[in-house]
Amino acid sequence: MKTPRALLTAALAGLVGTGVDLGLLLVLVGRHVPIAAATFLAALAGAAANFVLNKYVAFRDRAPISLGQIARFDLVAVVAALATAAAMKLATASLGVPVVAAKLACAAVVFAIWTYPAQRRLVFARPVSLTPRGV
């Protein structure tokens, strides 16, 4: 399902998830949690909100939640969290980008190259029907 609506609503779900993520990130950084650890933990929290919105709104997946789907989503979320954490470390420590700006930029890049394609193909892909159309 590669439609502009799915992409747009997945991006909006990503913004909500990023809001949760960013809020927790700021709290953790404010409590002096190291940036990579804070980014990783916050990204996982945002992923939980993102799962629900993507499942029911962006990808219109009405199938019951399965352990396999949760495992695939978790894999996508953990890879995204690790990629974002590494990018945040580079952006903040090496390049001196402020935390909020770095988070937004890193999240956008990871969404475009990993999260959306992986969720569309691995997590919320519709099963291929073996029954020919019209039968």
Query: What token pair was written down for 53?
Result: 């919105």
Cβ atoms of residues 116 and 10 within 8 Å: yes
Location of structure tokens 């090496």: 94
| Measured CA distances, 46 to 15, 51, 129, 134 (Å) | 9, 9, 33, 42
Query: What token pair was written down for 33?
Result: 């949690």
| pLDDT tens for the chain, residues 1 to 135 | 457 888 899 889 988 988 998 899 999 999 999 988 998 889 788 888 889 899 999 899 989 999 999 999 999 988 998 999 999 999 999 999 999 899 889 989 998 999 999 999 999 987 666 555 555
Query: What token pair was written down for 127?
Result: 């099963």
Give the pLDDT score at 30.
96
Cβ atoms of residues 43 and 24 within 8 Å: no
